[in-house]
Amino acid sequence: MPEHHTPITIFIDADACPVKDETYRVADRYELKVFVVANAYIAVPQGARIERVVVAEGPDVADDWIAERAAPGGIVITADVPLADRCVKAGAAVIAPNGRKFTEGSIGMALATRNLMYDLRSAGETTGGPKPFSKRDRSTFLSALDEAVMRLKREGYGAA
């Protein structure tokens, strides 16, 4: 397997992300760099490999920051489907906090579902919103993140 010069890097779309602590632990275990991106101050653990990025206020500013840096060897943690789409197209591995993997094969349906729900809400329909975050979601996320890191390592990407 050829060695890539690109280290595995994790980008967290941090606003309302329920799995930041889990991500830090996995990143620490594998010695990976983590960017925690938000448009407001978010406390992060002290450490050379965890970097807080506070972007300007405004719609999609954090998403744009992440999408501009998403690339093969990167892992993006987000529940934002349009951001996931941009990052998948850039070659990054993308995982929702509930462990759902966004891939080239699944992102089209995820976008269509998101757009349908948006249209229904705009028309006044009550859609109920997302399910509450569960322990099972957290476990599924941890498995998906570990799997993504191991796959990238097999592909020759390395630690930060």
Q: Residues 26-79: pLDDT tens digits?
A: 999 999 999 999 999 999 998 889 999 999 998 889 999 999 999 999 999 998
Burial of 116 (0-12, 13-18, 19+ CB in 10 A): exposed
Q: Which two tokens stand for residue 96?
A: 């929702």
Higher-confidence residue of 1 and 50: namely: 50
39 falls within a domain: yes
* Total domains in the fold of the chain: 1
- pLDDT: is 11 or 129 the higher one? 11
Q: Which domain holds residue 134?
A: 9-154
Residue 118, pLDDT above cutoff 80: no
CB distance 76 to 70 below 8 Å: yes
> Can you give the CATH number for the domain in which 30 is found?
3.40.50
